[in-house]
Amino acid sequence: MEHMPKEQDPNPSEGEEKRWLNGPKRKRKNSTCSMKSVSGYIPSYLEKDEPCVVCGDKATGYHYRCITCEGCKGFFRRTIQKNLHPTYSCKYDGCCIIDKITRNQCQLCRFKKCIAVGMAMDLVLDDSKRVAKRRLIEENRERRKKEEMVKTLQTRPEPTGAEWELIRLVTEAHRHTNAQGAQWKQKRKFLVRRHQKMRQHDV
């Protein structure tokens, strides 16, 4: 009978996170083992060709408190949501070098580096919370649009006398043009009917 692994909390405590980082660190052949954290300063904007702090690939944004690529963002989210990190293992005792070429070769070391650079496990939401958050963002966006529209209407100045006069002239010209158009349409119908009657009379 196979031994089933004990179910673990998908959001480990701070002590458990430290144990992930302080695992065995024997060096891999022809490589050096380094799990140093990057600088704590994260810019509020994404610079051109900003690298992912996990694998060095081109970053796409600020994800779970770090600038990362889409691949590392998705890997970290799936790992936490599905509680996969207890099942990860490393052939080289947790000391693999993680870059955009090797990032898919060792899940354990990739996850350890995600934690080392500061990706926050508590920011990963389950499906229901993620949908609720997206809905709240959309509602807030619509509310801000309405508030801006109301503010614009309230602050719009009243037309001056000259502007009102211009509006009146344009409106009158529009009405006059439409009236002429209607009269010409009726006149054209009359001419067509008259021409048809004349042809019938000639026959």
Model confidence over 96-144: pLDDT tens digits? 999 999 999 999 999 999 999 999 998 988 777 778 878 888 888 888 8
Query: What pLDDT digit, counting tens, does each position of 63-93 carry?
Result: 999 999 999 999 999 999 999 999 999 999 8
Same domain for 117 and 164, yes or no, is: no
Query: What pLDDT digit, counting tens, does each position of 139-193 carry?
Result: 888 888 888 888 877 777 777 888 888 888 888 888 877 766 666 666 666 666 7
Q: For residue 43, give both structure tokens.
A: 């810019």
Nearest-angstrom CA–CA distance, 187 and 195: 12
In a domain, 28, yes or no: yes
In a domain, 9, yes or no: no
In a domain, 3, yes or no: no
Same domain for 89 and 179, yes or no, is: no
Same domain for 190 and 100, yes or no, is: no
Nearest-angstrom CA–CA distance, 39 and 59: 16
- Find, among 85, 83, 90, 84, the residue nearest to 105 by Cα: 90
In a domain, 114, yes or no: yes
Number of structural domains (the chain) is 2
CA 184 to chain centre: 57
Same domain for 22 and 118, yes or no, is: yes
Same domain for 111 and 202, yes or no, is: no
Same domain for 118 and 175, yes or no, is: no
Give the CATH number of the domain where residue 83 resides. 3.30.50.10
In a domain, 150, yes or no: no
Say whether 58 sits in a helix, a strand or coil: strand
Same domain for 52 and 115, yes or no, is: yes
Out of 101, 123, 145, a domain closes at: 123
In a domain, 133, yes or no: no
Same domain for 108 and 170, yes or no, is: no
Range of the domain at 203: 159-203
Place of tokens 């992912």: 52
Same domain for 109 and 173, yes or no, is: no
In a domain, 69, yes or no: yes
In a domain, 130, yes or no: no
Strands (E), the chain: 61-63, 66-68
Same domain for 118 and 167, yes or no, is: no
Same domain for 186 and 118, yes or no, is: no
Same domain for 21 and 118, yes or no, is: yes
Determine what percent of the chain is predicted with pLDDT higher than 70. 66
Place of tokens 């997206």: 134
